[in-house]
Amino acid sequence: MVGVENVWIYVIIGVVILAGAIAYGVNLTRGRGGDTRTLDREAPSAPALPGEDLDRRPAGTGTAAPPEAPPAPAEVETAGPQAPPEPAPTEPAAPTIERPESARGRLARLRARLARSNSALGKGLLALLSRGKLDEEAWEEVEDTLIASDLGVEATTELVDSLRVRVKVDGTTDEATVREWLREDLLTLVQPDMDRRIASSRVGDRPAVVLVVGVNGTGKTTTVGKLARVLVAEDREVLLGAADTFRAAAADQLETWGARVGVATVRSDKDGADPAAVAFDAVKAGIEEEVDVVIIDTAGRLHNKVDLMNELGKVKRVIEKQSPIDEVLLVLDATTGQNGLQQAKVFAQAVDVTGIVLTKLDGTAKGGIVVAVQRQLGVPVKLVGLGEGPDDLAPFDPEAFVDAIIA
């Protein structure tokens, strides 16, 4: 029995020793004893917080999370809800600058539109002149047709007398022959030898200065905007002056026209400013910026208002204190006929008109106004408006005009 009891004692002691060894081994595995630096090298370390130096963490902070559930990086790196990322700054879109086509030959391209508006003049004359027999009554009808077209009494008499001689000498009223005679005589009346160039190039060390005048409702501000397009198409550097300070929307309208082709506008910040001061500032800016041409828009005014015409004279004098005015363009509505001629006379006396712009020529059969106004003022028609489009302002071409009339 004694032997058996000793055996159990040895078994119990062995079990205790074995249990202690197992417990000690478990503690070593969990880092609770022995050399922790060695264990840290063998066990995966916890991810560092942003900006933390792994080599400088205190001992004992490198224990790893259980391998099956590692902490998500987003949970370690952020302490709260993330703010939405700010959108990247975007550059504002540059305004689109239009590049108009050259205005050369534009009147010829618009010939059909002009021909439709003047059909009563051309076709009516050809129908009368191509009759088998031209008696006095027929010639009176020819005269009436020409006068109704605003050709004027003097010019009408000249044209009819010339045609009478041609018919009498040649003895024919063949339509093709009459058409050629009519073309030659009309072209003579339109005076193709007149200088129709517009001042648009620098003069010495200063820009050319163009003053645009006219009565209310003739499309003056629109004409200035379209003229800027014509000159930009010819590679001119243009500056606009908004000296129409009485109409609230005039400066905005002009500025919009200029911006479309990259042309700056000098204007006043307040309504009712002195138009002469705005014109002066525009010319001054043109000189400083060394542009090719400065175009000054003025307020529309009735030709029979003496105070307003005197004010226009003041604008001209103020501009001339720093620069001569190279061009004064009078904008006339072609549909006003003889009334337009009276307007032209008064404006010419006030500001020395150098050229005429005829607007709305596509809306009238009175193409004779071209001849009449040139004779009245002794200055050429330089531009004609043949529509509402931005590029429907055309340099006046006498031959294209006459061809359109008798087309």
> Is 244 a known ligand-binding residue?
no
> Is 79 a known ligand-binding residue?
no
Do 238 and 344 lie in a common domain?
yes
Distance CA 343, CA 346 (A): 5
Do 169 and 212 lie in a common domain?
no
Lowest mean per-residue pLDDT among 120-124, 248-252, 268-272, 392-396: 120-124
Q: Is residue 377 part of a domain?
A: yes
CA separation (Å) from 327 to 41, 55, 353, 359? 93, 85, 8, 18
Q: Is residue 20 part of a domain?
A: no
Lowest mean per-residue pLDDT among 67-76, 108-117, 137-146, 351-360: 67-76
Q: What is the pLDDT of residue 282?
A: 97
Q: Is residue 387 part of a domain?
A: yes
Q: What is the pLDDT of residue 363?
A: 67
> Is 222 a known ligand-binding residue?
no
Compute the radius of gyration of the chain from its Cα atoms. 46
Q: Is residue 4 part of a domain?
A: no
> Is 359 a known ligand-binding residue?
yes
> Is 217 a known ligand-binding residue?
yes
Domain that holds residue 143: 106-190
> Is 382 a known ligand-binding residue?
no
186, 370 contact by CB (below 8 A): no
> Is 29 a known ligand-binding residue?
no
Q: Output the domain CATH number for residue 363.
A: 3.40.50.300
Q: What is the pLDDT of residue 42?
A: 38
Domain boundary among 190, 219, 238: 190
Residue matched to tokens 């040139």: 374
Distance CA 169, CA 158 (A): 17
**Residue 384, C-beta contacts closer than 8 angstroms, at least 6 positions apart:** 107, 334, 357, 358, 359, 361, 370, 393, 394, 396, 401
Q: Is residue 365 part of a domain?
A: yes
Q: Give the number of domains in the chain.
A: 2
Q: Output the domain CATH number for residue 143.
A: 1.20.120.140
Lowest mean per-residue pLDDT among 2-16, 101-115, 246-260: 2-16
- pLDDT tens for 177-187 read 888 988 899 99
More confident residue, 87 or 272: 272
> Is 298 a known ligand-binding residue?
yes
Distance CA 279, CA 318 (A): 8
Q: What is the pLDDT of residue 228?
A: 96
Domain boundary among 158, 190, 222: 190
If one counts every other C-beta atom within 10 angstroms of the C-beta of residue 76, the result is 14
Q: What is the pLDDT of residue 89?
A: 58
Mean pLDDT score of the chain? 79
> Is 216 a known ligand-binding residue?
yes
Q: What is the pLDDT of residue 276?
A: 94
User: Does pLDDT of 47 surpass 90?
Assistant: no
Percent of the chain predicted with pLDDT > 90: 36
Q: Is residue 35 part of a domain?
A: no
Do 126 and 216 lie in a common domain?
no
> Is 360 a known ligand-binding residue?
yes
Dihedrals φ, ψ of 380, to 5°?
-85, 155
Do 185 and 222 lie in a common domain?
no
Tell me 156's DSSP state: H
> Is 267 a known ligand-binding residue?
no
> Is 107 a known ligand-binding residue?
no
> Is 348 a known ligand-binding residue?
no
Two structure tokens written together for 377: 């003022």
Q: Is residue 99 part of a domain?
A: no
Do 260 and 176 lie in a common domain?
no
Do 185 and 219 lie in a common domain?
no
192 burial level (CB within 10 Å; 0-12, 13-18, 19+): middle
> Is 128 a known ligand-binding residue?
no
Do 142 and 216 lie in a common domain?
no
Question: Which secondary structure element, helix H or strand E, spans residue 342, and what is its range?
Answer: helix 338-351
User: Does pLDDT of 44 surpass 70?
Assistant: no
Residue type, 4: V
User: Does pLDDT of 75 surpass 50?
Assistant: no
- pLDDT tens for 96-145 read 788 777 777 777 777 777 766 666 567 777 777 777 677 888 888 888 88
Do 185 and 223 lie in a common domain?
no
More confident residue, 194 or 108: 194
Do 154 and 297 lie in a common domain?
no
Do 165 and 138 lie in a common domain?
yes
> Is 274 a known ligand-binding residue?
no
Section 168-189 average pLDDT: 87
Q: What is the pLDDT of residue 21?
A: 65
Do 259 and 389 lie in a common domain?
yes
Do 214 and 183 lie in a common domain?
no
Q: Is residue 197 part of a domain?
A: no
